[in-house]
A and B are shown apart, each in its own frame.
Chain A
């Protein structure tokens, strides 16, 4: 546990010690704000809720989180510091966990800073704050999922660009998989059970459910099991590469 914390602190310091954190936060806030207020036209909807904001959030995550995570392992491998890391008495699992938690913590800070949206909507009207709280929770879990995927893929390659593009693709896959049912060709060709199952693998489906205001165990299980799987994969890959 303590080892994990060591890695955690080191990573977090790494974020804030460089322009990475500031650029990420600025762009994240500006982009999500822009989408919400201009593209989504929140002021014109006259609805006191943060639906517009949360509709665009998955896409903002999609664009930015792979970028955040691409350097997690790829950088280390490129610079050769990964060997140094792994000679220390830290297990691969602890290292993976530490980095993951650091990234997740950082993204939570970014989400926290969107509190301006919450303040604004409460100033304009009387929103259902329970729903908003649930939505933020869902956003946190979804962010964790994006990060787990990004970290895992980053550990597979030395090249950050490849890491970024692949993470983007896989994350996009998890979003778009929910739209498969809209392709009539596929619905006739695949059994309904499979289409259903695929839809239940979508980030949007589960995030959408949570942002209604209901925390269903199914949705929690989905995100947590996804994070667990990718962290496990991440650990396995780091272990393998260690041997090289």
Chain B
């Protein structure tokens, strides 16, 4: 055996080894990895892990991906996303024995394709042959409940983990979550009058939002009167316009919150559907006032002020047609938090005469804004809308403050009771007087032995055990507070229509209902689900450039306004001149007037030139930064090295 042959053979073995090791690694080693991303984008979050640890229901997850179809087309982004989704699902399956993952590749005209279609997956046509690609998931539990993701959309990658964990969690718990609604507004519709009495007012149907909620949850109506305790079975308490609630009711809400109950509260600076808002008493208070509760949660509703935003202003009918009314705000993507599951992906949320929320200095909770106005905002006095409001005047006297006002927040953390002295005294107990029944002698003894119910109550009142009162959070408090109740109303987010069969349904024109359902769903989950916010920042813009652009547009606007004002003044002067001319009836212009007109024209041209120059100047700042950075990265170090090298070599030559 020659050495060459041995070497050749050795090399061949080496090659085979290399290929084999990699193939082996490919299949066996794919769970061993380190996620170095700042937001842990590629690992299961703690929230998901906790939920999976408590999952005791066996769930089968069928993952469908038409691999061959995907490869035969140019859907490379989908192929990359497939890897992401599949690895995520494999991590789920690895984290708990309760989940079984089945991977299915539905190729055209196969049984698997029929299976996919049967489950309701969407097949996308992506190649020229018209083959359908399936990229979805079906999860089933032991009682054959099904949850489907029809198609994994890469643009929704941020919500991927949240969606999957939610599906698994819901399948495990089975029954619908319970939403308790405590409302002083007639959202349930007017109650039928007691039999025998004439109807008080026209029968009103329940607000459309109620049926939306009922589709996703079990709804229980609570109070608002006569409550001492909120049933702990209630998963989320929805407070609507808590106004003038009795101490007992507020205490019940307080204790519910301390036990870790979740709350979605709609308060308002001016609720236009407040029952007291009618012709007879236009100045009645229409402001929500659960101030002690809000304070304990760390927020405050700014007194007597509504939020206005001229940029978000929607149109309302007015005398001369329509008017952009700043108190009717159409909140869009920029106004809403991108990082929060409740507001991510929402396009438009309409709000009307909303209040303003501020975080208290002594807040023990974390308060994060969910919805804020833009910088063209103003705090408008509620009195302006209270009685015969003049919409046009409000719009005309609008002065933008440059600040952003918060109209919806998410609250998380531990809180203290709003009732530090314990349960409020029961007003009914004071009415009860000792049972001083005058009895005839013979019956006296009997009556003494009788159990006087009122007396008993009074006697047992002080014995009510103090230890059921919670002074501080037992579990983390999670809430969403929205400063507007009107947004719940039908017309603010939908239009009623009739379908082919004459049935009335709501066609949505805004996402208010989505925001509300998302928030309720999100709150209904455990703290783990809530922690699964949209993870990871996928947008990391050049903030330096944005700063420069903002500076540029601000100073541009300031300068522009200056120049426009100048232009306007000159125009006015010209107009006066023209008027003079027509007054005197003369056809010929005086010397003076001719000069004025010429001056005006010159000024116009100059002003326009100035404006263009301002624009150019400001773009130059941004371009200048770009040029400097390019030089720094391409030429700076090479030049240093060049100099260094030359110095070094010349010094060596000199030394020789």
Contact = CB atoms under 8 A, between A and B. Distances in A.
A33 B545 CA distance: 20
B72 A218 contact: no
A200 B22 contact: yes
A229 B18 contact: yes
Interface stretch (B33-41, B174-182, B265-273, B595-603): B33-41
Top 4 closest pairs, chain A to chain B, by CB = A33-B634, A213-B37, A22-B645, A217-B32
A221 B29 CA distance: 10
Interface stretch (A66-74, A77-85, A93-101, A127-135): A127-135
B280 interface: no
B4 interface: yes
Given A43-B629, A218-B25, A221-B21, A237 B7 contact: yes
Nearest to A33: B634
B30 A130 contact: no
A43 B18 CA distance: 41
Contacts of B26: 197, 200, 218
B36 A130 contact: yes
Contacts of A243: 3
Contacts of B638: 25-27, 29-30
A33 B629 CA distance: 10
Given A187-B71, A236-B11, A120 B633 contact: yes
Nearest to A195: B71
B569 to A, nearest CB: 40
B558 interface: no
Given A25-B641, A43-B626, A125 B543 contact: yes
Interface string A192-214: 10010100110000000000111
B616 interface: no
A15 interface: no
Given A213-B36, A221-B25, A22 B632 contact: no
Q: Which of A130, A133, A200 has the largest count of B CB atoms less than 10 A from its CB?
A: A130
Contacts of B19: 197, 201
Nearest to A30: B638
Contacts of A214: 33-37, 42
A237 to B, nearest CB: 7
Nearest to A123: B544
A116 B14 contact: no
Interface of A: 19, 22, 25-27, 29-30, 33-34, 36-38, 43, 46-49, 113, 116-117, 120, 123-131, 133-134, 181, 184, 187, 192, 195, 197, 200-201, 212-218, 221-222, 225-226, 228-229, 232-233, 236-237, 239-240, 243
A19 B637 contact: no
Interface of B: 3-4, 7, 10-11, 14-15, 17-19, 21-23, 25-26, 29-30, 32-39, 41-42, 67-68, 71-72, 537, 540-545, 626, 629-630, 632-638, 641-642, 644-645, 649
Contacts of B629: 37, 43, 120, 124
Contacts of A228: 18
Contact of B36 (A43, A126, A134): A134
A133 to B, nearest CB: 6
B655 to A, nearest CB: 14
Contacts of A192: 67-68, 71
B629 to A, nearest CB: 5
Given A192-B68, A200-B26, A243-B3, A128 B632 contact: no
B33 A229 contact: no
A131 B17 contact: no
A22 B38 CA distance: 36
Nearest to B84: A212
A233 B11 contact: yes
Interface of A, secondary structure class, is helix
B33 A216 contact: yes
B3 A46 contact: no
Contacts of A133: 36
A29 B22 contact: no
A36 B543 contact: no
Nearest to B536: A128
A159 B129 CA distance: 51
A132 B265 CA distance: 43
A116 B636 contact: yes
B33 A217 contact: yes
19 contacts: A43-B630, A48-B540, A48-B542, A120-B632, A125-B543, A126-B540, A130-B36, A131-B36, A131-B37, A184-B72, A192-B68, A195-B71, A197-B23, A213-B41, A214-B34, A215-B33, A215-B36, A216-B33, A233-B11
A123 B633 CA distance: 13
Contact of A218 (B10, B29, B41): B29
Q: Which of A19, A124, A237 has the largest count of B CB atoms less than 10 A from its CB?
A: A124
Contacts of A134: 36-37
Given A29-B637, A128-B537, A212-B37, 8 more contacts: A34-B634, A37-B630, A47-B540, A126-B540, A221-B21, A228-B18, A229-B17, A233-B14
Given A128-B39, A184-B72, A113 B637 contact: yes
Contacts of B36: 130-131, 133-134, 213-215
B545 A124 contact: yes
Contacts of B11: 232-233, 236
Contacts of B22: 200-201, 218, 221-222, 225
Contact of B35 (A113, A213, A233, A239): A213
B549 to A, nearest CB: 10
A240 B3 contact: yes
Contacts of B545: 46, 124
A27 B639 CA distance: 11
Contacts of B30: 216-218
Contacts of B34: 214-215
Nearest to A212: B42
B543 A131 contact: no
Contacts of A184: 72
Given A127-B540, A221-B22, A237-B7, A30 B38 contact: no
